[in-house]
Amino acid sequence: TKIGIDAGGTLTKIAYFDENLELQLISFLSSDMQAIKYWIETNHSLASICLTGGRAEQLKKYLLSPMDIPYIVEFDATMAGVMYQLKQENIECEKAIIANIGTGTSIHIMKENSHSRLGGTGIGGGTLIGLGQALTGITDYKEMIALSKLGDRSSIDILVSDIYENNKLPINGALTASNFGGVALKKTLNRSYEDHLSGVQGMIGEVVASLCIQAADAHHVENIIYIGSTLENNDLLKNIMESYTILKEKKPFFLEKHGYSGAIGALLES
């Protein structure tokens, strides 16, 4: 059987169909090429691979395959994987902004079966683990996500309503006026690791969602599809992005296999 591999900046995702034609997904740290090689050699043949992602060339060298391993462009693979999942989940969506929140974030538009890249931001999943580590020293991803859910970012951020207090509000008072501005301007003595981590999640979610909302406005698109492993088991980030997108009168979509679009696309296009 064939396998699709998306070797990303942080995680390497693998997709394949098992004997019962059920889609199977597995991920590894991209830094652990030995584990990836071992998994491929014990489960599949090198001949069955199709690669995509920014680390594809490095992985290809590491695998020492005697024949050439086919490669497809990351954006094409991602789009194919997104289309497949939309069909599987019965989601009607012909035009959409697509944001892939990986190590960094890449923003695309899908329209009438074609797609193009609109831009991106360095604020992404790498920011979550990097800034999270800088603020708390925590390196375990699961622990970081779990703690962030327990936090309260009301003393971390400044809301529009904090600034305007009793004045007439020019925009929705519940919107964030300044991510992390509260750390400098609000007189709270105790801010926990949990609060800081929830502030990081808030900043990432709001930056990415607002870029997507602006792109949607500029291109007269209503739907925004958010993908990438940063959303994996991360309901807090999902909720932040979902509510902000709805507040701005756009339709947010999340796919079940958040981080696996590229790997699924590589599998299908091979």
Pick between residue 158 and residue 204 the one whose CB is nearest to ligand ATP. 204
Q: Which residue is nearest to ligand ATP (CB)?
A: 8
Window 105-144: residues binding ligand ATP (CB under 6 A): 125-126, 128-129, 141
Residue with tokens 């990438």: 228
Shortest distance, CB of residue 88 to Mg ion, whole angstroms? 20
- Cα separation, 7 vs 80, in Å, equals 16
- Cα separation, 154 vs 264, in Å, equals 39
For residue 255, report the phi and psi dihedrals to the nearest 5 degrees: -100, 150
**Distance (Å) of CA 21 to CA 4, 83, 249:** 14, 19, 39
Pick between residue 16 and residue 141 the one whose CB is nearest to ligand ATP. 141
Pick between residue 102 and residue 252 the one whose CB is nearest to Mg ion. 102
Contacts of 100 (CB under 8 A, 6+ apart): 78, 106, 107, 108, 227, 228, 261
In the residue annotation, 165 being an active-site residue is answered as no
Q: Which residues pair with 105 in a beta bridge?
A: 101, 121
The reply to whether 182 sits near Mg ion by the rule CB under 5 A is: no
The reply to whether 244 sits near ligand ATP by the rule CB under 6 A is: no
Given 22, 41, 57, 74, the catalytic residue: 74
- Using CB distances below 5 to 8 A depending on partner kind, what does residue 229 bind out of Mg ion, ligand ATP, none? ligand ATP
**Distance (Å) of CA 86 to CA 82, 130, 225, 255:** 6, 31, 10, 8
Residues that contact ligand ATP, how many (by CB under 6 A): 19
- Cα separation, 142 vs 266, in Å, equals 27
What token pair was written down for 223? 């739907």
> Do 71 and 270 meet the contact criterion of CB atoms below 8 Å apart?
no
Binds ligand ATP (CB under 6 A): choice among 49, 51, 79, 102: 102
Binds ligand ATP (CB under 6 A): choice among 230, 250, 252, 267: 230
Residue with tokens 């199709």: 50
Q: How does DSSP classify residue 191?
A: -
Q: What would the x/- binding string for ligand ATP be over residues 174 to 213, using CB under 6 A?
A: ----------------------------------------
The reply to whether 205 sits near Mg ion by the rule CB under 5 A is: no
Binds Mg ion (CB under 5 A): choice among 4, 81, 102, 151: 102
Window 34-73: residues binding ligand ATP (CB under 6 A): 53-54
**Residues noted as catalytic:** 74
Q: Which residues bind ligand ATP (CB under 6 A)?
A: 8-11, 53-54, 102-104, 125-126, 128-129, 141, 228-230, 232, 259
Site residues (vs Mg ion, CB under 5 A): 8, 102
